[in-house]
């Protein structure tokens, strides 16, 4: 099996992050809020001695399944950093790490919808019929909507 993605869940959505674009995984940690930023930008966290911006992925994507963030459900969440080659000190808050996936874990795939953001890749369907959206972290890291955190 050739592994291509890290599979995660956020706000009820299922996502595949290319392994070559993903960085380290951290447990939830204290995030210092930043004033005058968009609601999806949670603030900054000290991850392994470096400051990293933290984005609530589900909130950024405006997912319907996003519930109220509480300390107990945040404690079960993880922070996933971008690969250092992307030169962005940022971590994405995800609800659950599902594991590593290869293309053999999916029965079919289809292109992203025509109106999807440029950082959405193909949509994969697993044997249980669940849809998994590939999220290109390199394109996300260059997206003006993602980089514009000021409110």
Q: Mind listing the pLDDT tens digit for each residue in 19-53?
A: 999 999 999 999 999 999 999 999 999 999 999 99
Fold observed for domain 3-147: OB fold (Dihydrolipoamide Acetyltransferase, E2P) (2.40.50)
Tokens of 109: 């795939």
90 pLDDT above the threshold of 90: yes
For 83, other C-beta atoms within 10 Å of its C-beta total 18
Residue 68 has pLDDT above 60, yes or no: yes
- pLDDT score recorded for residue 1: 55
Annotated domain spans of the chain: 3-147
- Output the pLDDT for position 72: 80
Residue-wise pLDDT tens digits, 45-64: 999 999 999 999 999 998 76
* Residue 2 clears pLDDT 80, i.e. is over it: no
**Residue 73 — pLDDT band, cuts 50, 70, 90?**
confident
113 has a pLDDT exceeding 60? yes
Q: How confident is the model at residue 89 (pLDDT cuts 50, 70, 90)?
A: very high
Half-sphere exposure of 81 (CA within 13 A, CB side): 21
Neighbours of 30 (CB within 10 A): 7
pLDDT of amino acid 109: 94
pLDDT classification of 67: cutoffs 50, 70, 90: low
Average pLDDT score over residue span 71-88: 92
Phi, psi of 73 (to 5 degrees): -80, -25
> What are residue 23's phi and psi, to 5 degrees?
-110, -135
Residue among 7, 14, 18 nearest 136 (CA): 18
């Amino acid at each position: 099996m050739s592994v291509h993605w890290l599979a995660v869940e956020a706000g009820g959505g299922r996502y595949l992050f290319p392994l070559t674009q993903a960085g380290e995984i951290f447990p939830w940690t204290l995030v210092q809020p930043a004033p005058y930023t968009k609601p999806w930008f949670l603030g900054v966290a000290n991850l392994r001695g470096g400051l990293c911006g933290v984005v609530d992925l589900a909130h950024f994507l405006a997912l319907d399944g996003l519930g109220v963030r509480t300390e107990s459900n945040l404690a079960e969440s993880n922070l996933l950093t971008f690969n250092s080659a992307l030169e962005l000190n940022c971590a994405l808050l995800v609800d659950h790490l599902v594991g590593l996936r290869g293309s053999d874990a999916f029965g079919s795939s289809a292109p992203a919808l025509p109106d999807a953001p440029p950082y959405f890749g193909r949509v994969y369907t697993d044997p249980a019929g669940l849809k998994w959206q590939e999220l290109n972290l390199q394109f996300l890291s260059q997206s003006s909507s993602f980089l514009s955190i000021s409110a």
